[in-house]
């Protein structure tokens, strides 16, 4: 298949997924309202846990960095503090292990 | 408000810049031209699927297989769209279309974690990501031989860490922590064993169902207000 035709298909399925939910305008039944409240929690956890360990045998420093990051995000509610301290911690720990 | 959203994404540039560079280098190495490399960042604008598609496109793999993988990787955005439409029920059609085009994990997470209930914040966050992703796709595509390997630096850790830092402030009630714990365990078990994207979608649905079932005694608060407000405006 032609490159541009494939890219068009990728655009359609990606934009289509993003768009489909946005056009849900009618009020949802109570059950689905509660469902939607948990979507970011479930999806983000699913994005985090499988990628924490990494593929280069750096599982322990990565996990410890995540614990620093999570603790700071909880205490400070600031994205950048958790992120920067977590990454710095990872780079330091990686040298130690 | 637009610029507030725009700035809220900026800490994530730490991960976005090296990965846009890495994507562009991968795509160029796979034989895509500068225009093709950039077109994926502008038209598809989804990091993981661009990464997985670039080598396949370069190798001339069947387009349908690439499109199906892209669909699996990105179908979770459907759930994000539903959540955004719940929080911002008064969006116009144009706002829904534009908002959807630029919607990503990062802008959705930043928007919800901010507690700001304003379309302009979401758009600012999304455009901030779009501009940086595309600018550094271009840099990487032009200078593909000069860019070091970001994986060796371990910069890929920025993504789970930033999702974690966005998730934690959302977790308040005990039931939310419990759902996060169960989703995490389930994801750790099934995501590596399933095709990319499918596992994340399944955990997203299972975790949200669990949350909805566990909260069946709860009286919804925020949504009642939102729906009342919509009715008054209408």
d(CA A96, nearest CA chain B) in Å:
15
d(CA A10, nearest CA chain B) in Å:
5
Residue A29, chain B, CB below 8 Å: the answer is no
Q: Are residues A62 and A90 in the same domain?
A: yes
d(CA A76, nearest CA chain B) in Å:
9
CB-nearest to A15 from B100, B155, B187 is: B100
CA–CA distance, A72 with A65 (Å, rounded to integer): 11
Q: Are residues A44 and A63 in the same domain?
A: no
Q: Are residues B76 and B22 in the same domain?
A: yes
Residue A87, chain B, CB below 8 Å: the answer is yes
Cβ–Cβ of A14/B46 closer than 8 Å? yes
Q: Are residues A66 and A95 in the same domain?
A: yes
| Structure-block tokens of residue B2 | 């637009």
d(CA B65, nearest CA chain A) in Å:
10
Cβ–Cβ of B183/A5 closer than 8 Å? no
Report the pLDDT value the prediction gives residue B232, as an integer from 0 to 100. Answer: 37
Q: Are residues A45 and A75 in the same domain?
A: no
Q: Are residues A62 and A30 in the same domain?
A: no
Q: Are residues B102 and B192 in the same domain?
A: no
Q: Which chain A residues are within 8 Å of B103, Cβ to Cβ?
A: 18, 22
Q: What is the DSSP string of B32-93?
A: --HHHHHHHHHHT--HHHHHHHHHHHHHT--HHHHHHHHHHHHTTHHHHHHHHHHH-TT--H
pLDDT digits (tens, 9 = 90+) for B7-64: 999 988 988 888 888 888 888 888 889 999 999 999 999 988 888 788 788 877 788 8
Cβ–Cβ of A34/B216 closer than 8 Å? yes
Q: Are residues A47 and A9 in the same domain?
A: yes
B63-74 and A3-22 helices, crossing angle to 10°: 20
CA–CA distance, A77 with A80 (Å, rounded to integer): 9
The torsion angle over the Cα atoms of residues A44, A62, A92 and A56, rounded to 10 degrees, is: -120
Q: Are residues B85 and B152 in the same domain?
A: yes
Q: Are residues A78 and A31 in the same domain?
A: no
Average pLDDT, chain B: 85
Cβ–Cβ of A22/B210 closer than 8 Å? no
CB-nearest to A41 from B12, B71, B176 is: B176
d(CA B53, nearest CA chain A) in Å:
9
Q: Are residues A45 and A1 in the same domain?
A: yes
Q: Are residues A1 and A43 in the same domain?
A: yes
Domain count, chain A: 2
Taking CA atoms, what residue in A is nearest to B159? A48
Q: Are residues B98 and B212 in the same domain?
A: no
Q: Are residues B192 and B159 in the same domain?
A: no
Nearest alpha carbon to residue A35 among B212, B83, B85: B212
Q: Are residues B194 and B86 in the same domain?
A: no
Q: Are residues B72 and B179 in the same domain?
A: no
Q: Are residues B96 and B112 in the same domain?
A: yes
Taking CA atoms, what residue in A is nearest to B155? A87
More confident residue, B14 or B4: B4
- Whether residue B227 has pLDDT greater than 50: no
Residue A59, chain B, CB below 8 Å: the answer is no
Q: Are residues A39 and A69 in the same domain?
A: no
CA–CA distance, A55 with B80 (Å, rounded to integer): 28
What value of ipTM does the predicted structure carry?
0.86
Q: Are residues B165 and B133 in the same domain?
A: yes
Residues B158 and A83: beta-carbon distance below 8 Å:
yes
pLDDT digits (tens, 9 = 90+) for A48-73: 888 888 777 888 899 999 999 999 98
Q: Are residues B218 and B107 in the same domain?
A: no
pLDDT digits (tens, 9 = 90+) for B96-151: 999 999 999 999 999 988 889 999 999 999 999 999 999 999 999 998 777 666 66
Q: Are residues B68 and B80 in the same domain?
A: yes
Q: Are residues A5 and A34 in the same domain?
A: yes
Domain count, chain B: 2
Cβ–Cβ of A66/B43 closer than 8 Å? no
Q: Are residues A22 and A58 in the same domain?
A: no
Taking CA atoms, what residue in A is nearest to B57? A3
Range of the structural domain that residue B179 is part of: 174-234
Asked which of B145, B170, B195 is the last residue of a domain, the reply is B170
Asked which of B141, B170, B199 is the last residue of a domain, the reply is B170
Asked which of B151, B170, B189 is the last residue of a domain, the reply is B170
Report the pLDDT value the prediction gives residue B138, as an integer from 0 to 100. Answer: 95
Taking CA atoms, what residue in A is nearest to B74? A14
Report the pLDDT value the prediction gives residue B166, as an integer from 0 to 100. Answer: 81
> How many Cβ pairs within 8 Å bridge chains A and B?
287
CA–CA distance, B103 with B84 (Å, rounded to integer): 10
Taking CA atoms, what residue in A is nearest to B103? A18
Range of the structural domain that residue A1 is part of: 1-52
CB-nearest to A36 from B12, B64, B86 is: B86
CA–CA distance, B85 with A21 (Å, rounded to integer): 7
């Amino acid at each position: 298949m032609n490159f541009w035709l494939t890219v068009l298909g990728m655009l359609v399925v990606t934009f289509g997924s993003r768009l489909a939910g946005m056009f849900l305008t009618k009020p949802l039944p109570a059950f689905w309202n509660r469902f939607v409240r948990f979507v970011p929690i479930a999806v983000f956890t699913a994005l985090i846990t499988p990628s924490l360990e990494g593929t280069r045998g750096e599982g322990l420093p990565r996990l410890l960095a995540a614990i620093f990051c999570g603790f700071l995000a909880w205490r400070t509610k600031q994205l950048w503090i958790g992120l920067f301290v977590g990454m710095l911690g990872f780079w330091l720990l990686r040298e130690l292990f | 408000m637009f610029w507030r959203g725009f700035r809220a994404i900026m800490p994530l540039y730490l991960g976005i810049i090296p990965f846009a560079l890495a994507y562009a280098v991968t795509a160029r190495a796979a034989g895509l031209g500068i225009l093709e490399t950039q077109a994926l960042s502008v038209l598809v604008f989804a990091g993981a699927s661009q990464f997985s598609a670039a080598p396949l496109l370069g190798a001339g793999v069947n387009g349908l297989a690439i499109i199906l993988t892209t669909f699996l990787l990105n179908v979770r955005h459907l759930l994000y769209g539903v959540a955004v439409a719940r929080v911002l029920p008064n969006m116009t059609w144009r706002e829904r279309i534009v908002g959807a085009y630029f919607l990503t994990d990062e802008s959705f997470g930043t928007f919800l974690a901010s507690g700001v209930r304003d379309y302009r914040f979401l758009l600012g966050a999304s455009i901030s990501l779009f501009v940086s992703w595309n600018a550094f796709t271009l840099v990487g595509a032009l200078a593909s031989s000069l860019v070091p390997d970001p994986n060796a630096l371990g910069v890929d850790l920025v993504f789970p860490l930033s999702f974690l830092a966005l998730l934690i402030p959302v977790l308040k009630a005990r039931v939310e922590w419990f759902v996060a714990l169960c989703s995490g365990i389930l994801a750790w078990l099934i995501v590596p064993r399933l095709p990319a994207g499918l596992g994340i979608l399944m955990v997203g649905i299972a975790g949200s169902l669990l949350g909805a079932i566990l909260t069946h005694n709860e009286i919804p608060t925020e949504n009642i207000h939102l729906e009342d407000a919509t009715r008054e405006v209408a």
